[in-house]
Amino acid sequence: MLDKPLGMSSNKALQEARFLFAAEKAGHTGSLDPLASGLLPLCFGEATKVSGFLLDADKSYITTARFGYTSNTGDEEGEKQLIQAHPKITSEKLEVVLAQFRGEIQQIPPMYSALKKDGQPLYKLARQGIEVERVPRNVVIHDLKLLDCSAESATLEVQCSKGTYIRSLVEDIGATLGVGAYVASLRRTAVSPFNSLPMYSLEALTAFKDQREHLDELLLPIDQALMHLPELDLNEAESLLIQQGQKLALEKNIQPGLYRLYKNINEQAQFMGMGELSNNVLRVKRLLAY
């Protein structure tokens, strides 16, 4: 679990970590803006085959909202516009507004985002002064806690579903208060299912550069990323059919959906990949190469 530093793109952080681990292939499970820090799960080698399954994961953030201004980028980087000098926010007033943003809400994605319009990322259009209509989307704010509050800023802890833009959340809170707001700082603290694992900075990983065994000890088993999926054990014959890409009809009645697949021989279980079960027929979704 990489602790991405401020001021660095997610791809730059990924490439530096890939070099340290001498990995031919590498990927991450959802980027962080350069002005955001925190948890960036990285996948190396065969683990890149499961990275896409983590894009839908719930995430947690700690953010500081600055009141009284708006920003054309929604964060510290943009041009600021004064909305109300000395907004005098109180925790009582803020708690009333925060209650409106818990649960399922609608968000309009920001122009400064990687979403595309006719093949063009919105942030590129925004830099040209072009604004396009964005379709509101439903997201879920599982929890929204006020950690600290002053007259002009507040620190919030957010647990949210995929697709949630913290910049949009903070802007909407500021708009509801009538004083404007933008993200002054943002740190991602968790990505499900990696909610309680230690993070390592690039500096810490670099310190292990010449001690490969220590670096390898930091890597998690690939199936650790998929513990939210149920497990399905296959015998040797069944495993062979799946490895050949064939469909497998199961005799026992099992709930349809995605499964973690294990080749189980003599009580020795080896993770094979993922399969999808429908009408009691198992099909390969993604297999690892061993």
Per-residue pLDDT tens digits for 207-220: 887 777 788 888 99
What is the predicted pLDDT for the residue at 290? 63
CATH of 60-189, one of 3.30.2350.10, 3.90.180.10, 3.40.50.970, 2.60.120.650: 3.30.2350.10
Q: Looking at the domain 2-57+194-222, which fold is it?
A: Pseudouridine synthase (3.30.2350)
**Assigned CATH class of 229-287:** mainly beta
Candidate list 33, 75, 172, 223, residue with the active-site label: 33
Tens digits of residue pLDDT in 250-276: 877 788 999 999 998 777 889 999 999
Integer Cα distance of 26 and 159 in angstroms: 27
Q: Which pLDDT belongs to residue 146?
A: 98
CATH topology match: 60-189 vs 229-287: no
Q: What number is the average pLDDT over the span 3-29?
A: 91
Report the C-alpha gap between 27 and 193 in whole angstroms.
17
Q: Select the more confidently predicted residue: 60 or 122.
A: 60
- Let me know if 33 is a catalytic residue: yes
Name the pLDDT band for 91 (thresholds 50, 70, 90): very high
Q: What pLDDT score does 55 carry?
A: 75
pLDDT of residue 18: 92
> Which whole number is the average pLDDT over 156-163?
95
C-alpha to C-alpha distance for 1 and 18, rounded to whole angstroms:
13
Confidence grade of residue 196 (pLDDT, cut at 50, 70, 90): confident
Q: How far apart (Å, rounded) are the C-alpha atoms in residues 192 and 161?
A: 10
Q: What is the pTM of this model?
A: 0.88
Where exactly are the structural domains of the chain? 2-57+194-222, 60-189, 229-287
Q: What mean pLDDT, rounded, does the chain reach?
A: 90
Longest CA pairwise span in the chain (Å): 72
Higher pLDDT, 92 or 57: 92
Q: Which of 42-51, 164-173, 206-215, 262-271 has the lowest mean pLDDT?
A: 206-215
Residue 178 pLDDT: 95
Summarize pLDDT for 100-130 with one digit per residue, the tens.
Answer: 999 999 998 887 777 777 777 787 887 888 8
Among 290, 288, 237, residue whose Cα is nearest residue 261: 288
Quick check: helix, strand or coil at residue 116?
A: strand
Q: What CA–CA distance (Å, rounded) separates 145 from 195? A: 17
Average pLDDT over residues 23-35: 86
State the average pLDDT over residues 18-26. 90
Any idea how long the chain is? 290
